[in-house]
Structure 1
């Protein structure tokens, strides 16, 4: 269709209410913007004071200042407001011409056409209806895995899922990219998800632990951010730990990370071959058992299944005893060191701080199962300063939980029901009555459709293997026939593995809609893009400390909305109006605007502490709280300062059982045994990864690890001036061992080509001794920037990673199981375009 015919066709769709022609939410003068001065706000990287001059952001810094360290991430608010922005609603040219045959192979290459906001809303509503009519619920995928912006109200993930549920349902994602294997295996072993739960308090570790074993984690980098907002107590803990001279700190990691360098000269650095952690732990367990130094009483009282695990450990089932010598041949660590490591843990109160990297690998369930088994044999789980923790490196786990109010978040709602005219009439939990949505009186006889989900890391498989069955955590699932993707709050063209394969899968669907603030790689690979406000262009409220709940922070709008950016809430509100009569009533909870939600969340939290006068006094009525623009700080209790992970279980395992079938730590799982999987059996085992340095016929020579970066939150902040601190030759930096670099003729600062059978990228060489031989480090999160031949000019490691799952159990991603080749780049260096706008018609 020609553009004029397209617009004529759009005119036949239901008109939006006149309120959508203006900005529904924060343009209504309920708050006056500060033109010159400072404003308090928050982001993942902390509570911040933002400096405004003539209505523009000119500076920012952490509101909470500790003398020992300065977090550099909060200093780049201006770049987050002004750089690489999506300015207007955009539709890909071929999609605009014919949405029924939109040439999806041109995504990422096609020109973009600017359209009015109203036309974009009507287009999305129409195509979503069309997809549901043709494919049903299984045709629509709402992806939002990623670190959406801070704020309890403007939560893009929640609003997307709320809209999709109310308008008819969707395919959701299961687990996430960060901890998928851990989320599935640990409930079978320890009865809880663990990776996102509170840890033994920092004070107890400082007081009681004699050995700190940091295995596969880089807390000094990852504790710069939190999922809500960072209260920064984790970094303070590691500063305090460094000052204590009576602690033995051991770091197990092929990389001398930011944390390793922080503890340089203090910590012992042990460097196993990547992906061999399970074998090393098995050698440790064998030594404990054979020397009878394991805690027999703990095993007898608090665990089940060691007797069924021992035949494998001792080699009775496969004629291969898992001795330290056997482990040494696999992991590259001397048997003597393996024995000494486990003995020092048994002889001293030891806290094992387990990182997430080891479970983002092929058979990633195994190291987590084995490290829990090893900790059980050591026998200190549930003791102050002893045991194991899976979240000390994330969101300040161990910062004691404060006594105070807790803000709630947006309810994602249940699936909507519609009458024969297409009008919204309610859900299974509420119904329309006299123009209002009444909760608790569901539509008579309406049953919610069966929900559909796929593991987050299997989205490419879902698109390429429609209708095929697969196993997941003991269930047989079927890949749905997805033809409409709506993504808000994430950047899958950086997160996902094997981006060339992912691109092929992505181009198999008819419609891709993205809500985005910046021209990210994912936005450039869409059909329709809505420009979204940053947190600094809207009002919100949040808490700091995912575990501590230390502060309630007002997030006042700092600057005017840029260009034609809208809040996610407004976009989904207007989509409701375009989609079905009365749908918007339920979506907005009978007409709540931005401030209504902020007030509602605050006052609901305030009501929680009404019976605690000393806390209630901290929380002034909402209008006073908002006018003051000051955070509210709660204090930890003596009980929370003395809290021990698994402490109640150790005190009485009968009255306080774990969430496993036995109520105990399950070294052997009957549940998993009954699943009959060949790649995840009834107890922890060593499985050879699909790619690793110890394999016979290596497809490439070096093992690439892609940990979390120091100066970003995944892909967030990549376009800011923080990049000047780490970019090498204007590319993502890749660490390479000095001896390896010398052999390959690579010098510090060279641009290198990193490649394997899956793709190729350019990166800037950092020649260093802070990494093992035959291992390279290229942090995840660099924006994907392919040229016409698929070469990523910026250095996104997921061009090279494998899109296989950890196992049939968890189906987690395996980015840290990757072999690559590295060579000095020859030829003309291509221009970097990652942060530039795409082509416009």
Structure 2
């Protein structure tokens, strides 16, 4: 008789009722509590695809043989299947050797947290807990998504960037905002995913209210699709990476026309005089007027004058900035300048107005104020106290012992002998992947926990096959009001294990198993984490059922009816700046930051300003690479997860990622719709299928991230990536000396028809598996 199982599974993109039969996913249905479920759930049908799952521990051939030159073969050779004991022994030996030779700082332990939405089977928590128990590790700070914002916002507003992003929410905007200028658009598909899962995708329902209210929306973006099609908008198309210049032009118009709210500036900000001198050109001889800004942005000066006039006339104006804008050279400036503009308008802290950070990006605009902390796996304390900015990993590997600046400090890159990665794919997130490929060969050992044959797995020495969130029990809760019992829908694939079991095995060999496990199995840890959540909730006046009731009911719990109305930090500050000061040195908005100015950085001074760019359409490099590439988040998967699924492949062109370009640019190059093209610059090249569209402005192309890195055997700029991964083209340079974030959006390229035999991507995405005797 067929064995049928039904389970509710929580993911980063929602909760789904999974029906399996004899270990095969037969049906995926979103939770009935989700008003606008994400179609990403369709990737789950292929989660156990044996062509791409890793069935048992693997060791790269030359590493297993002890070849002294094995590092140069990473990503290019076969793997040998081994037993769990052999793989764990080898990994433990490599960790002990590194500790003895280079100390714990010689271990770079990385994870990016998106592997599981659960509170227990969160690879990042598991990895950090294990390494803290064996003496620490070199880790990282900030994120590829928001690094520049994460560093600049605390200086300017005294609050972390993600909490700041909650202060302007769609409920208030829909109720009160009459004029909204969206720098970087309002890309709703990014809201499909949130850290810790989504119980109810409410964003479309709330945007519908903007339509009903008739809020005037201006989208400033090179791509019309950055804003939902059902939301009528005015579309302004500047050169990418010129948003700060446009904001300065608006600020100039406000200043010279007497439209600045000087009362708010005097009572709620510091440093406006220094900024004003720069704005009017008194410090550098260049007034930042509409003509100046328009010449940089490539738009009409009247567009800037009109924006200034309409913002000033609005009763409740809002300025929003997408996450993508700070993933560019000098990305800190756009966020800083948006704050200044909202202050000049006197709109900062108005309900439904002011400034919105990371808006319509990864759900930040609908993150809710949970009045307590959810329980989590304890991680301990890292004894290695100098983490690197996450986007500087290649610099660290290539330049051990060299100094770098970060947020007012000068630090030294450690000498990394061993990388341990779990729950992420740096060959998706990082820039200039040809450079990362060279850097990745520097350490003696690379160990990876991975479910499928990503590029990170293919560039490892030791692979532990990790099972997926479909094969585990967990508790899913995060930044909305839901807590969900996520129950395993499948038995573990082949000989895979959970990250907890993998680290427990390593902990035994490192002499810390009892401390790591505390004698608890999976379900005992889940109950412990839930009870911590329940106790914290009770202190906040919120009741949760017992763990047994919660688990046996098997349904998400929505605590929203029990949550009291939250207090907006920015509104409190606006209404009573003396009683509710910001946590900045002045207690006010820092238009001029003495702290940042004291760092002495040439690329990030004491107030927001325009800096010339190395890669933008207004620079000399555009003579050689005349198109600006925007690499946006994919619509049909989370980052690169399950890229092999049928649902992910639906939008590809003959299994290559699809690039969008304007028909005029295509005609100039002899490119037709559906043609395989080569996108290139002096860092590398990749193949992508062409789709022509008037929705994108001329001289800009759009290539989504998420295609698994699939390079040929050549090195450097001459290499060809077959699949359409844009990060073979993006520069690996920090946003500035302040934040050292990634600048994927600052990327110039060219495109041409591909001539030659088109490679079979699917055949290239899997390594050769050698017989166990090939040692």
TM-score in same-fold range (> 0.5): yes
What is the SS of the residue equivalent to 2:531? helix
Equivalence for 2:524: 596
What is the SS of the residue equivalent to 2:586? coil
Determine the C-alpha separation between the residues in 1 that align with 2:443 and 2:153.
35
Equivalence for 1:586: 515
1:647 and 2:581 aligned: no
Determine the C-alpha separation between the residues in 2 that align with 1:612 and 1:653.
26
1:817 and 2:746 aligned: yes
Render the CA deviation track for 1:719-768: whole Å, top value 9, x for unaligned: 21112431123211111011111111111101000001000100010100
1:383 and 2:307 aligned: no
Gaps of 5+ in 2: 771-775
Determine the C-alpha separation between the residues in 1 that align with 2:172 and 2:567.
8
Equivalence for 2:42: 75
More moved, 479-488 vs 245-254: 245-254
Report the alpha carbon displacement of residue 332 of structure 1 after superposing the two structures with TM: 1.2
Determine the C-alpha separation between the residues in 2 that align with 1:834 and 1:143.
28
Equivalence for 2:431: 497
- How has the CA–CA distance of structure 1 residues 157 and 336 changed in structure 2, closer, same or farther, with 3 Å as cutoff? same
Determine the C-alpha separation between the residues in 2 that align with 1:403 and 1:673.
35
Equivalence for 1:569: 500
Q: 1:515 aligns with which of 440, 444, 449?
A: 449
What is the SS of the residue equivalent to 2:489? coil
Report the alpha carbon displacement of residue 238 of structure 1 after superposing the two structures with TM: 4.3
CA contact (8 A) 1:212 1:350 kept: yes
Counterpart mapping for 1:453-468 below 5 A: 453-468=387-402
1:133 and 2:100 aligned: yes
1:736 and 2:661 aligned: yes
Report the alpha carbon displacement of residue 116 of structure 1 after superposing the two structures with TM: 0.3
Counterpart mapping for 1:190-201 below 5 A: 190-196=157-163, 197-201=165-169
CA contact (8 A) 1:358 1:367 kept: yes
Calculate the TM-score normalised by the size of structure 2.
Answer: 0.95
Determine the C-alpha separation between the residues in 1 that align with 2:23 and 2:137.
41
CA contact (8 A) 1:59 1:76 kept: no
- How has the CA–CA distance of structure 1 residues 458 and 638 changed in structure 2, closer, same or farther, with 3 Å as cutoff? closer
Render the CA deviation track for 1:20-71: whole Å, top value 9, x for unaligned: xxxxxxxxxxxxxx9424321210110111112234221112103666x552
1:184 and 2:108 aligned: no
- How has the CA–CA distance of structure 1 residues 55 and 503 changed in structure 2, closer, same or farther, with 3 Å as cutoff? closer
CA contact (8 A) 2:680 2:729 kept: yes
CA contact (8 A) 2:178 2:215 kept: yes
CA contact (8 A) 1:254 1:271 kept: yes
- How has the CA–CA distance of structure 1 residues 479 and 645 changed in structure 2, closer, same or farther, with 3 Å as cutoff? same
Counterpart mapping for 1:135-534 below 5 A: 135-196=102-163, 197-263=165-231, 266-348=232-314, 349-399=316-366, 401=368, 406-415=373-382, 449-534=383-468
- How has the CA–CA distance of structure 1 residues 752 and 742 changed in structure 2, closer, same or farther, with 3 Å as cutoff? same
Determine the C-alpha separation between the residues in 2 that align with 1:404 and 1:661.
26
Report the alpha carbon displacement of residue 239 of structure 1 after superposing the two structures with TM: 4.2
Report the alpha carbon displacement of residue 218 of structure 1 after superposing the two structures with TM: 4.0
1:780 and 2:705 aligned: yes
1:48 and 2:27 aligned: no
Determine the C-alpha separation between the residues in 2 that align with 1:364 and 1:404.
32
Determine the C-alpha separation between the residues in 2 that align with 1:158 and 1:410.
7
Report the alpha carbon displacement of residue 840 of structure 1 after superposing the two structures with TM: 1.2
Determine the C-alpha separation between the residues in 2 that align with 1:192 and 1:237.
29
Equivalence for 1:98: 66
What is the SS of the residue equivalent to 2:162? coil
Equivalence for 1:559: 490
Determine the C-alpha separation between the residues in 2 that align with 1:237 and 1:662.
39
What is the SS of the residue equivalent to 2:597? helix
Report the alpha carbon displacement of residue 146 of structure 1 after superposing the two structures with TM: 4.8
Report the alpha carbon displacement of residue 205 of structure 1 after superposing the two structures with TM: 1.5
- How has the CA–CA distance of structure 1 residues 282 and 679 changed in structure 2, closer, same or farther, with 3 Å as cutoff? same
Gaps of 5+ in 1: 1-33, 416-448
Equivalence for 1:30: none
1:719 and 2:644 aligned: yes
Q: 1:755 aligns with which of 680, 685, 698?
A: 680
CA contact (8 A) 1:252 1:271 kept: yes
What is the SS of the residue equivalent to 1:367? helix
Determine the C-alpha separation between the residues in 2 that align with 1:695 and 1:160.
43
What is the SS of the residue equivalent to 1:133? helix
Render the CA deviation track for 1:341-397: whole Å, top value 9, x for unaligned: 122222221222211111100111111111111111111111111111114324433
How many residue pairs get aligned? The number is 761
Render the CA deviation track for 1:199-227: whole Å, top value 9, x for unaligned: 33432221111122221144311011111
More moved, 406-415 vs 204-213: 406-415
More moved, 291-300 vs 51-60: 51-60
Determine the C-alpha separation between the residues in 1 that align with 2:769 and 2:8.
37
Determine the C-alpha separation between the residues in 2 that align with 1:629 and 1:799.
44
Equivalence for 1:88: 56
- How has the CA–CA distance of structure 1 residues 70 and 759 changed in structure 2, closer, same or farther, with 3 Å as cutoff? same
**What's the C-alpha RMSD, in Å, of the aligned pairs?**
1.9
Calculate the TM-score normalised by the size of structure 1.
Answer: 0.88
Render the CA deviation track for 1:57-88: whole Å, top value 9, x for unaligned: 21112103666x55211123121233521111
